[in-house]
Structure 1
Amino acid sequence: MEQAKDKQVLLEVQHLNVQFHLKNGKKAKVVDDVSFVIHKGETVALVGESGSGKSITSLSIMRLLPMPPGEITKGDILLNGKNLLHYKNKEMSRIRGNEVSMIFQEPMTSLDPVFTIGNQIMEAIRRHQKVSKKQAREMSLQLLKEVGIANAEKIITEYPHQLSGGMRQRVMIAIAMSNNPQLLIADEPTTALDVTVQAQILKLMMKMKKEQHSAILFITHDMSVVAETADRVMVMYAGQIVEEAPVREIFLQPKHPYTAALLKTMPSLETEMTRLPSIPGTVPPAYALPNGCRFAPRCPFVMKHCRQVTPETRHIQHNHSVRCHLFTEEGVLAHDGERSFT
């Protein structure tokens, strides 16, 4: 894996807050004070269960958040030092698909059913590059070949419904990478695919990232995908980033109980089990968040303090942070006077 040390910052998200206005007049904070950076050439995984706020974070970066009912109430999103939240829609349309591209979980919702595959790739190219139709078609064929589609001449004339899920996802990758984006956001891009196709798609994404020197923000709940692709991991729970560290450290020394619980849900070849462990309970809805630590109702190490006081993010090492009362700033286990964790 590549290391981000001394690399140039590509994306910087600062204190991002997103809320949704509900029909009953209430407000739900779905992203709460989220800050992180992505360096050029780096692959960062944003992980967590459904409802954690991962996709809303990515849609906010792309400025595709439905507003209303969504609203970015605070924060900055800097791409190469430029604040995307200050851009008008027309300016953002020049950035989307060019400097930043996104691959969604289900390509059938992203591909237009009434246009051929060729037309859709060519449109993406001609929107941002001054090329002729003929040149755009040749570039489209080359892109399809690069994503592993051998019969590109035939596929370019077909419609999305005529392709398999794996083929559609390859087309989406071709479109996303057509203008050499600096940042690729991949939101659960392999969830709907079988294991064999998933492995092929991940390998393809890593290959194209290396060739085009792109950075990737990989959004997933699958820790095995994280182990295979990421340089660094951010763990999200109930709208907050609760842990961040290099991928190896996350797997070998997880600090937050939620991270440890996620890792336990991974199947292992070394341990014989008839049933995979699960995390008791569910992610609390954004309109009914508990007091104190949001993971407290599900945490096996919960203390009285956890249910009363919201934990701050502690930088326990220069490259490892955790939002948890169990740890001091020095990274050692704390206790509440009643129950020791040392």
Structure 2
Amino acid sequence: MEQALDKQVLLEVNHLNVQFQLKNGKQAKVVDDVSFVIHKGETVALVGESGSGKSITSLSIMRLLPMPPGQIAAGTIALNGKNLLELKNKDMSSIRGNDVSMIFQEPMTSLDPVFTIGNQMIEAIRRHQKVSKGQAREMALQHLKDVGIAHAEKVITEYPHQLSGGMRQRVMIAIAMCNKPQLLIADEPTTALDVTVQAQILKLMMKMKKEQQSAILFITHDMSVVAQTADRVMVMYAGQIIEDAPVRELFLQPKHPYTAALLKTMPSLETEMTRLPSIPGTVPPAYALPEGCRFAPRCPFVMAHCHKRTPEPRFIQPNHSVRCHLFAEEGALAYEGQRSAT
């Protein structure tokens, strides 16, 4: 993939902590000390198993968390240097859907079933642009054509339930891109689609990103999608980012044991296998996180102190960070010896 068009920071998240108050009185720490940047023109993938905190991170950026029970307990989220967490709801509404847009995982639950596609698109355009209803309708038609909908004049009069899953997802992309956002957040936008439609949607998103000079935060658990779309990859586990690296480097030289295990679960045409590898165990629940490293109970390279001390992020190369005790001095040699033996 191409690198970011420039290195100007668009979004900067620092030490974000998100927790949920449970009915039994416990607190679930869903996002814990998460920090990252996204540059203008860059496509960044946020990957990890279900329950790792990916979607909560994206909802926090959009300030769409249900509060209560959710709460952003600490941290900052800055867009072009402006902390979104300090904005009033009215000011955030002018940014949401304009400067930052989001494509949700299931468009049927995101599109309003009682309004036509045209009504929903016209509202999205007029909310942020000073145009007449007629002008907004023409813009909506053009955006539908841009996402590959041939019969836009017909689709604009239809309701969401009258469209296929692929068509609804195209409509969602058209709505998300209609105000030319600086940042597009795509949360599993192709999960419910067949592979042919999935490829079309990914190609379309990359085309529109290039035309509009947008950055994309792509949230997925599909590593093959990451390989096709991303410039950089952030791996999330149990509420923490445990590895952050350029996409090629991460695929060729993953450092964190969890990242390596994720990549091994990908099917390959070069290797014969009767069953895909899996990672033993499950992601720990956010209300019962283990002490020390959160991946330790599942890690094949676990050391005694992994169960006691929480690893801090460490840059092992200028653009490659990892949160793992194996890359502290006491663990690095043992890790390399075990890796070479496997």
TM-score normalised to structure 2 length = 0.97
Match of 2:175 in 1: 175
**Cα separation, 2, equivalents of 1:61 and 1:29:** 17
**Cα separation, 1, equivalents of 2:203 and 2:4:** 21
After TM superposition, the structure 1 = structure 2 runs for residues 146-161 of structure 1, keeping only pairs within 5 Å, are 146-161=146-161
After TM superposition, the structure 1 = structure 2 runs for residues 110-259 of structure 1, keeping only pairs within 5 Å, are 110-259=110-259
**Cα separation, 1, equivalents of 2:6 and 2:151:** 42
Match of 1:273 in 2: 273
Unaligned 5+ residue runs, structure 2?
Answer: none
**Cα separation, 1, equivalents of 2:338 and 2:300:** 13
* Structure 2 counterpart SS, 1:219: strand
Contact 2:5 2:41 in 1 (8 A): no
* Structure 1 counterpart SS, 2:327: coil
Would the alpha carbon gap of residues 43 and 110 (structure 1) be closer, same or farther in structure 2, given more than 3 Å must change? Answer: same
Would the alpha carbon gap of residues 6 and 116 (structure 1) be closer, same or farther in structure 2, given more than 3 Å must change? Answer: closer
Contact 1:265 1:276 in 2 (8 A): yes
* Structure 1 counterpart SS, 2:333: coil
Deviation, structure 1 residue 105 = 0.5
**Cα separation, 1, equivalents of 2:311 and 2:5:** 28
**Cα separation, 2, equivalents of 1:335 and 1:272:** 30
* Structure 1 counterpart SS, 2:244: strand
* Structure 1 counterpart SS, 2:204: helix
* Structure 2 counterpart SS, 1:297: helix
Contact 2:4 2:43 in 1 (8 A): no
After TM superposition, the structure 1 = structure 2 runs for residues 55-66 of structure 1, keeping only pairs within 5 Å, are 55-66=55-66
Would the alpha carbon gap of residues 340 and 254 (structure 1) be closer, same or farther in structure 2, given more than 3 Å must change? Answer: closer
Would the alpha carbon gap of residues 29 and 112 (structure 1) be closer, same or farther in structure 2, given more than 3 Å must change? Answer: same
- State whether structure 2 residue 41 is matched by structure 1 residue 41: yes
* Structure 1 counterpart SS, 2:37: strand
- State whether structure 2 residue 260 is matched by structure 1 residue 260: yes
**Cα separation, 2, equivalents of 1:177 and 1:186:** 11
1:257-312 residue CA offsets vs partner (Å, 9 max, x unmatched):
00001001111111111211111111000000011110011111111111111111
After TM superposition, the structure 1 = structure 2 runs for residues 20-31 of structure 1, keeping only pairs within 5 Å, are 20-31=20-31
Deviation, structure 1 residue 6 = 5.3
Q: Which amino acid aligns with 2:186?
A: A
* Structure 2 counterpart SS, 1:335: helix
Greater percentage in helix: 2
**Cα separation, 1, equivalents of 2:7 and 2:317:** 19
After TM superposition, the structure 1 = structure 2 runs for residues 259-338 of structure 1, keeping only pairs within 5 Å, are 259-328=259-328, 333-335=332-334
Deviation, structure 1 residue 88 = 1.0
Unaligned 5+ residue runs, structure 1?
Answer: none
**Cα separation, 2, equivalents of 1:55 and 1:104:** 10
1:111-170 residue CA offsets vs partner (Å, 9 max, x unmatched):
000000111111100000011111111111100000000000100000000000000000
* Structure 1 counterpart SS, 2:135: helix
Deviation, structure 1 residue 335 = 3.4
Q: Which amino acid aligns with 1:109?
A: T
1:154-209 residue CA offsets vs partner (Å, 9 max, x unmatched):
00000000000000000000000000000000000000111111000000000000
Would the alpha carbon gap of residues 5 and 212 (structure 1) be closer, same or farther in structure 2, given more than 3 Å must change? Answer: closer
Deviation, structure 1 residue 5 = 8.1
Match of 1:109 in 2: 109
**Cα separation, 2, equivalents of 1:231 and 1:329:** 30
**Cα separation, 1, equivalents of 2:195 and 2:106:** 16
* Structure 2 counterpart SS, 1:137: helix
* Structure 1 counterpart SS, 2:67: coil
* Structure 2 counterpart SS, 1:285: coil
Count of aligned residue pairs for this structure pair: 339
* Structure 1 counterpart SS, 2:30: strand
Deviation, structure 1 residue 333 = 2.3
Q: Which amino acid aligns with 1:334?
A: L
Superposition RMSD on alpha carbons, in Å?
1.5
* Structure 2 counterpart SS, 1:190: coil
**Cα separation, 1, equivalents of 2:101 and 2:261:** 32
Contact 1:41 1:215 in 2 (8 A): yes
TM-score normalised to structure 1 length = 0.97
Deviation, structure 1 residue 334 = 3.4
Deviation, structure 1 residue 341 = 6.0
